[in-house]
Structure 1
Amino acid sequence: MTAILPMMTSPDSDRRNVRTLVVDDSVVVRTVIERILNADPGFTVLHKTNSAENALAYLADHVVDLILLDIELPGQSGLAALPQILQVNPDAKVVILSGKCEEGSSAAVEALALGASDILSKPGSGSFGEQFPQALIERLSRLFGDRPVTPPLARAVAPPVTSPAVAPLACIGIGASTGGIHALSQLFEGLAAPLGVPILLTQHLPASFTIYFAQQLSRMTSLRVKVAETGDLLMPDTVYVAPGDAHIQLRRSLHGRVVILLNPERTAAGNLPGVDPMFSSMAEIYGAGVAGIVLTGMGRDGTLGARDIVTAGGWIVAQDEASSVVWGMPGSVAGAGLTCAIMEPLAIMNFVARRGKVAA
């Protein structure tokens, strides 16, 4: 029996009409996705095609806001074509919609590292029920919910704090969510030389992603990368990745060494892992020696912890809006007046190195 697709209404009537390209080798899937998106006032499918080559040809002459891309395509795979697609239409958000790129798989993490904004598992062509259309619209709406039809008023962003660092750099904390894996690849690309301090990293990902994410991250940097475990002794030039089911927090051992203590309790906002508990714990242990970096992501996770870092004498750098997939998390700390700089990821580590040396 064929499922009836319900009419969708957007919760945000001001959201602009998102111009969409659907790339899938199944005519059934392309038709169903078109019906789902065109039933919502926030989306319009401009074009559908069955191959990456046809998609690239279309994008050479047309601009879209969203590309729903399958992985398994005739000819060039969606994963292989992803860098070219983003090069041709760099402002578009690419969402991988595939039954062969499940959340937690190595292909999913690779797609996110290459610049995909999100990953969605696609049901089989005969199993589109009532839940999938609603889930698809809600997931995509979160990517475009802050994009109004009319040009926005200037966003209120407090001027960056320009005072110099007051203590030598002792530890770096990084928080990221949607679009974060691609931003992290640029961040570590900008690291010219090891900084001699431990790096704590919280990327919002399910627990099933953790191992593949750490493996992908180790290919982005010469630094040692490991998934954080309770009892880990913090070592310089090592990246400690929060597992998907716990926050990274810190404590001092009886001998005064700093070790990791994982906390599996969700934050009040529901985040797990969360940037706020990691930042707050870093501030408590390292005080003015902390540098926090907030990258692209939805929501406000990191703002409360960033305030603790600044109160302790540390400092915060945020990713700029232009390079962010979603300027929620970095925009929140910027709007709260907690940043000493706002810049693209490629420039952040050089800034951190220079500012850290000034204090030393």
Structure 2
Amino acid sequence: MSPYKVIVVDDSAFMRKIVSDLIEKDPAFRVVDTAVNGKEAVDKILSQQPDIVTMDVEMPVMNGLEALTVIMQAHPLPVIMLSGINEAGMRETIKALEAGAFDFIRKPSVAHAQQIDDVRDALLEQMKAAMAAKERRALWKAEEEKRKNKPAAAAPVSTPVLPKLGRKRPLPDLAKEPGARNGAAAQESAPDKEIVLHKPDKPKATKLSKPGAGKKHQDSPNSRTTRELTHQVLESAPSAEEAKTTKPAGTDAAKPNRTAEGRAATAYKQLVAVGCSTGGPRALKTLLEGIPADFPAPVVIVQHMPPNFTKSLAQRLNTFSPLTVVEAEQGMALEPGFAYIAPGGYHTKIVPDQSRGLMISLTEESPVGGHRPSVDVMFESLLELPSLKRHVVLMTGMGSDGAKMMKRLYDAGVTSTFAESEETCIVYGMPRSAVELGCVSHVLPLHNIAAGLVQAVGNGKQTY
């Protein structure tokens, strides 16, 4: 098989050389060209049709985020961002993941040989995962097309093979028809003991329209020049100054502040725990946009990400979500109306506290399965909370982190388990592992998971 074609984009000639050399250590990839800025990258991608691209975040003329936006409109393909560790670079990287980048790595320090080796391994792993995901999705789409185009009289309609479940639970109709209301979710008996915390009053957040809603491009992307495409995609984007001063409805201006000290009084009985990896930032945006501000359970999230980036992720998600989204801190008491992002470099556990109900415990124990934070570690901590109604979710990501502990929770009688379906996953790894273990009660496309959670938690105020 011919090697996959790669274009490397970076304004530094030295970094272009380093990244190209790292990539070509694996015979599965061949660097066919390089570009010095985003504009040149768009031109070369449209003309050379590579299989995958590595893209620097901060560049002159057209930066990586701007170029990515154009590429995803004109010629979508896997793009891996190379990010610096400064605050601006981290913010732009989070936006790039949200805009469709496959994943990112931090730029290597040329002063440390070990760091270069680590970056090489991570980069090649991501590139292989991107190509595998692309090919798997193409096969899945081909099978779907065959199924849709098959004449009705040619054969009896086949029933999809669902995973064998330890306990019978109906899959919701949401998996079949977006917007349809499904049957009653399985409920476990009411706990003997409530978790007592304080939920501060907050105004209802305004429902946000999705970015780009109502705008459709009528022309075929391939019929237009790079300049026309670039202008069309970027003309409606806010300027840097507008972005700093304009806040969408439902942002932190309308939300309570969160402090590590926590609060006291009012009860909640339920908790949602979410795990994701590759493709997670974009998936989390969709999920958290769909959960209402008065959702009666805290949401705790493990997203595989290095230190510092998780803070930028939480800040970014907070601008979209009706919930208040924060990076978790040691000793934070959990409250309804909040979503907590596990900080990079720390395992996050949920532990009981006599005076404040449940709280966050951060540890620097060894990575589990190569991850810290680990979804399995967070899920495992929920095993010690049988009086709490627990709702466990696995979304897009490489590998199998979270599946093993989801299985243990399922067998222990957890209230509900959700997995993102292959239809919407960037990488169908973590959810697939859970489905294969037979511990998923609801398999849903991404855009229906929030509605499924609202139903399972029993808010009763959301219609879908």
Q: TM-score normalised to the size of structure 1?
A: 0.79
Deviation at 1:42, TM superposition (A): 0.9
Deviation at 1:138, TM superposition (A): 1.9
Q: Amino acid of the residue matched to residue 186 of structure 2?
A: A
Please, which of 144, 148, 163 is the counterpart of residue 158 of structure 1? 163
Structure 1 residues 98-247: aligned runs within 5 Å:
98-99=83-84, 105-122=90-107, 134-145=117-128, 147=131, 158=163, 162-163=169-170, 164-167=185-188, 170-191=270-291, 194-247=294-347
Q: Amino acid of the residue matched to residue 97 of structure 2?
A: L
Structure 1 residues 290-305: aligned runs within 5 Å:
290-305=390-405
After superposition, the Cα gap between the structure-2 partners of 1:144 and 1:342, relative to the gap in structure 1 and judged at 3 Å, is farther
Deviation at 1:256, TM superposition (A): 7.8
Deviation at 1:286, TM superposition (A): 4.9
- Distance in 1 between the 2:72 and 2:300 partners? 29
Q: TM-score normalised to the size of structure 2?
A: 0.63
Deviation at 1:172, TM superposition (A): 0.6
Contact 2:4/2:51 (CA < 8 Å) preserved in 1? yes
After superposition, the Cα gap between the structure-2 partners of 1:103 and 1:316, relative to the gap in structure 1 and judged at 3 Å, is farther
Structure 1 residues 6-17: aligned runs within 5 Å:
17=3
Per the alignment, in what secondary structure is the counterpart of residue 458 of structure 2? helix
- Distance in 2 between the 1:358 and 1:105 partners? 35
- Distance in 2 between the 1:143 and 1:123 partners? 15
Q: Amino acid of the residue matched to residue 45 of structure 1?
A: V
After superposition, the Cα gap between the structure-2 partners of 1:26 and 1:248, relative to the gap in structure 1 and judged at 3 Å, is closer
Deviation at 1:223, TM superposition (A): 1.0
Deviation at 1:270, TM superposition (A): 4.3
- 1:49 is aligned to 35
Residue 72 (structure 1) aligned with residue 31 (structure 2): no
After superposition, the Cα gap between the structure-2 partners of 1:341 and 1:232, relative to the gap in structure 1 and judged at 3 Å, is same
Where structure 1 has 5 or more consecutive residues not aligned to the other structure, the ranges are: 1-13
Deviation at 1:148, TM superposition (A): 5.8
Identity percentage of aligned residues? 28
Deviations 1:286-334 (CA, angstroms, capped at 9, x unpaired): 5672111112222221112211321223222222335333322222112
- 2:357 is aligned to 257
- Distance in 2 between the 1:306 and 1:149 partners? 23
Deviation at 1:199, TM superposition (A): 0.4
After superposition, the Cα gap between the structure-2 partners of 1:240 and 1:122, relative to the gap in structure 1 and judged at 3 Å, is closer
- 2:231 is aligned to none
Contact 1:303/1:329 (CA < 8 Å) preserved in 2? yes
Contact 2:8/2:53 (CA < 8 Å) preserved in 1? yes
Residue 97 (structure 1) aligned with residue 57 (structure 2): no
Contact 1:178/1:296 (CA < 8 Å) preserved in 2? yes
- 1:25 is aligned to 11
Contact 1:333/1:339 (CA < 8 Å) preserved in 2? yes
Per the alignment, in what secondary structure is the counterpart of residue 360 of structure 2? strand
- 1:331 is aligned to 432
Contact 2:318/2:324 (CA < 8 Å) preserved in 1? yes
Which structure has the greater CA radius of gyration?
2
Contact 1:37/1:43 (CA < 8 Å) preserved in 2? yes
Contact 1:206/1:245 (CA < 8 Å) preserved in 2? yes
- Distance in 2 between the 1:24 and 1:89 partners? 19
Contact 2:295/2:459 (CA < 8 Å) preserved in 1? no
Contact 2:391/2:414 (CA < 8 Å) preserved in 1? no
Deviation at 1:197, TM superposition (A): 0.9
- 2:236 is aligned to none
- 2:453 is aligned to 352
Per the alignment, in what secondary structure is the counterpart of residue 343 of structure 2? coil
- 1:3 is aligned to none
- Distance in 1 between the 2:288 and 2:317 partners? 9
Deviation at 1:252, TM superposition (A): 3.0
